[in-house]
Amino acid sequence: MPWALAPALTVFAVLGGVLAVIDARTHRLPDAVLVPGAGAVLLLLVGAAVTVGEPLRAVGVAGGAAGAFLACLAVHLARPDAFGGGDVKLAALCGAVLGWVGPEAVASGIALGFVAGGVAATGALLAGARGASMAFGPYLLIGAWARVLAGP
């Protein structure tokens, strides 16, 4: 990963950590934190694309955000109880970051988030936590970071 990407990934890491804690505690991803943080990450990603002389990476960022948003919106509309609108917006942010890596990273990173959430839910069920709800945002972030760290 180029050095110019470091500010975007740093803000994404800090924002993700804050959102994961908030979501785990409250089962909410507040727009007051998510929207400005996502805007900052997007601007930094586009700036990094221009800085390294690869402006088409910005198209990948936008496509990743749109693809992840639409995929998770479809799930949200089909099963509103599965996860909320904040998770859909967080998926768009994760998709934008993953879009820097490439389109296959968007699909696999979001899928890894679903797998991580499924493993956690299975563990909770096996431990006897029937009927309990769980925050999905932290698992989306785990999937995104696993894929970002795996590289192209």
Cβ atoms of residues 121 and 83 within 8 Å: no
Q: What is the pLDDT of residues 23-58, one digit of tens each?
A: 999 999 999 999 999 999 999 999 999 999 999 999
Tell me: pLDDT of 7 over 70. Answer: yes
Structure tokens at 138: 């932290």
Instruction: Find where tokens 């990743």 sit.
Output: 64
The amino acid at residue 35 is V
* CA separation, residue 12 to residues 3, 15, 51, 128 (Å): 15, 5, 18, 34
Structure tokens at 7: 């500010």
Calculated CA dihedral for residues 23, 135, 93, 66, nearest 10 degrees? -140
Measured CA to CA, the distance from residue 17 to residue 54 in angstroms comes to 29
Measured from the Cβ of residue 73, the count of other Cβ atoms closer than 10 Å reads 16
The structure's pTM equals 0.92
Query: Vertex 30, ends 28 and 33: CA angle to 5°?
Result: 140
Q: What is the pLDDT of residues 65-90, one digit of tens each?
A: 999 999 999 999 998 888 889 999 99
SS3 content of the chain, % helix, strand, coil (to 5): 80, 0, 20
Q: What is the pLDDT of residues 128-151, one digit of tens each?
A: 777 678 899 999 999 999 999 997
Q: Show me where the domains of the chain are located.
A: 3-150
